[in-house]
């Protein structure tokens, strides 16, 4: 059995990240280093990620982060078997920074380049920590993505549903902004919702009952905006009640969409008795939603896996891991691989 060592780089959004992982011949993963620098403070004044600021910050910090990840791993560049970087989808300026760095290291040390789809990183992360068998159901809920994937193997993904407008994390962030809360809004909405009355406002449950497993959050956001406008001045209790009512609408919607996704998954793979349900992305940190996933897993006979937040939110270990999984299949990429702003799995 051969052990492969991979350096990974992630720069597709507002996290500059580098990591070194190992994969043994049996497919088990090991994180040797995993450093992430969040640009939250740079973007916070704008209430969202500013692409130009992100790209410049990646340029400023990436050299140092890669050096740190290598140092913490105790390895030398010549020990690496490949260099992986996110090649998309994401903010193009940032993706180019990380991908170019990976190309330079790969070229200088004569190692293969792994141009990784960021979503594939999220899709495969659970296997870095657990011996999860294919096929499994993945729910990815972050600031940029909201989708169900049926993961049938490395490179074999089947999207069951996606958002037709906003991503779920984006909806949390927009609601927070409407309420005058800071960015990112998800954690603050969750904290305030705990002291709120979830039954005070009857917000819509978007797409509930529809026979697919797509998502839509812009109508919900609009309903929140109209409520906020009607209230005119917001007391602390009003804010808490809006947060709680919004979170309740999201939770009920997720339970319904999940039911449909499980139905589609079961129809495609009737022989799989207890498939894994993997929930990844920043929104997976939400406890109210976690309770929904736990209940759904129990009800539908799924094995729920929520990887630790550090591997669920954007990081480079997941990119290195996806690179390792692909390298194990003999898949490498040419050094002229171009960055892609859009790249569905």
Task: Identify the residue among 169, 206, 275, 323 touching ligand KG4 (CB under 6 A).
Answer: 169
Task: Look at residue 293 and give the partner it binds from Zn ion, ligand KG4, none, a contact being a CB closer than 5 to 8 Å depending on partner kind.
Answer: none
Site string for ligand KG4, 218-257 (x = CB under 6 A): ----------------------------------------
Count of helices and strands (H, E) across the chain: 12, 10
By CB under 5 A, residue 120 contacts Zn ion: no
CB of 303 vs ligand KG4, minimal distance in Å = 22
63 is in an annotated binding site: no
Which among 339, 328, 331 has a CA at the least distance from the CA of 113?
Answer: 331
62/205 Cα distance (integer angstroms): 42
Q: How far is the CB of 244 from ligand KG4 (least distance, A)?
A: 13
Minimum distance from residue 315 beta carbon to ligand KG4 (Å): 9
Give min distance, CB of 283 to Zn ion, in A.
Answer: 11
Q: Residue 47 burial by CB count (10 A; 0-12/13-18/19+): exposed, middle or buried?
A: middle
How far the first Cα of the chain sits from its last, in Å, is 30
Query: How many residues form the binding site for Zn ion (CB under 5 A)?
Result: 2
Of these partners, Zn ion, ligand KG4, none, which one is at the site of residue 186 (CB under 5 to 8 Å by kind)? ligand KG4
190 binds ligand KG4 (CB under 6 A): yes
Q: Is residue 268 classed as helix, strand or coil in its secondary structure?
A: helix
301 is in an annotated binding site: no
| Pairing of β 156-162 and β 146-153 | antiparallel
Residue 228, φ and ψ in degrees, nearest 5: -65, -40
Contact segment (CB under 5 A) with Zn ion among 108-116, 134-142, 185-193, 199-207 equals 134-142
**Residue spans of alpha helices (H) in 185-344:** 186-193, 218-231, 236-268, 287-300, 309-312, 317-328
Binding positions for ligand KG4, 131-160, rule CB under 6 A: 142-144
Ligand-binding site membership of 143 (annotated)? yes
Residues 6+ apart with CB under 8 A from 147: 139, 140, 159, 160, 161, 162, 163, 215
Told to check if 314 binds ligand KG4 by CB under 6 A, we report: yes
Report how far residue 238's alpha carbon sits from residue 197's, in angstroms, rounded to the nearest whole number.
9
d(CA 200, CA 142): 27
15 binds Zn ion (CB under 5 A): no
Residues between 43 and 102 that touch ligand KG4 (CB under 6 A): none
- C-alpha 94/C-alpha 165 separation (Å) is 23
* Residue of 5, 13, 116, 302 that binds ligand KG4 (CB under 6 A): 13
The residues that touch ligand KG4, with contacts defined as CB under 6 A, are 13, 142-144, 169-170, 172-173, 184-187, 190, 281-283, 285-286, 313-314
Per CB under 5 A, residues contacting Zn ion are 142, 314
């Amino acid at each position: 059995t051969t052990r492969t060592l991979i350096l990974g780089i992630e720069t597709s959004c507002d996290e500059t990240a580098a990591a070194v992982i190992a994969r043994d011949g049996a497919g088990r993963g090991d994180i040797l280093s995993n450093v992430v620098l969040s640009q939250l403070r740079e973007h916070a004044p704008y209430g969202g990620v500013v692409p130009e600021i992100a790209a410049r910050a990646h340029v400023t910090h990436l050299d140092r982060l890669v050096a740190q990840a290598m140092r913490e791993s105790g390895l030398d560049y010549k020990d690496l078997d490949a260099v992986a970087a996110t090649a998309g989808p994401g903010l193009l300026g940032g993706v180019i920074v990380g991908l170019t760095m990976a190309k330079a290291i790969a070229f200088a040390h004569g190692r293969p380049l792994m141009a990784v789809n960021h979503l594939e990183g999220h899709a495969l992360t659970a296997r870095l920590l657990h011996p999860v068998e294919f096929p499994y159901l993945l729910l990815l809920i972050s600031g940029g993505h909201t989708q169900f994937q049926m993961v049938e193997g490395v490179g074999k993904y089947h999207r069951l549903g996606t958002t037709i407008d906003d991503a779920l994390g984006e909806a949390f962030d927009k609601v927070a902004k409407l309420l005058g809360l800071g960015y990112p809004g998800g954690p603050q909405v969750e904290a305030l919702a705990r002291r709120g009355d979830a039954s005070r406002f009857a917000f819509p449950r978007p797409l509930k009952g529809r026979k697919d497993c797509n998502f839509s959050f812009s109508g919900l956001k609009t309903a929140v905006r109209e409520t906020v406008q009607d209230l005119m001045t917001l007391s602390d209790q009003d804010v808490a009640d809006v947060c709680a009512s919004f979170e309740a609408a999201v939770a009920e919607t997720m339970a319904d969409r999940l039911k449909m996704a499980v139905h589609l998954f079961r129809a495609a793979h009737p022989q799989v008795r207890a498939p894994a349900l993997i929930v990844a992305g920043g929104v997976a940190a939400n406890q109210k939603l976690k309770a929904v996933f736990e209940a759904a897993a129990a009800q539908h006979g799924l094995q729920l896996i929520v990887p630790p937040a550090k591997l669920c939110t954007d990081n480079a270990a997941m990119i290195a891991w996806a690179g390792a999984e692909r390298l194990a299949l003999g898949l490498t990429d040419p050094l002229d691989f171009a960055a892609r702003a859009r790249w569905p799995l």
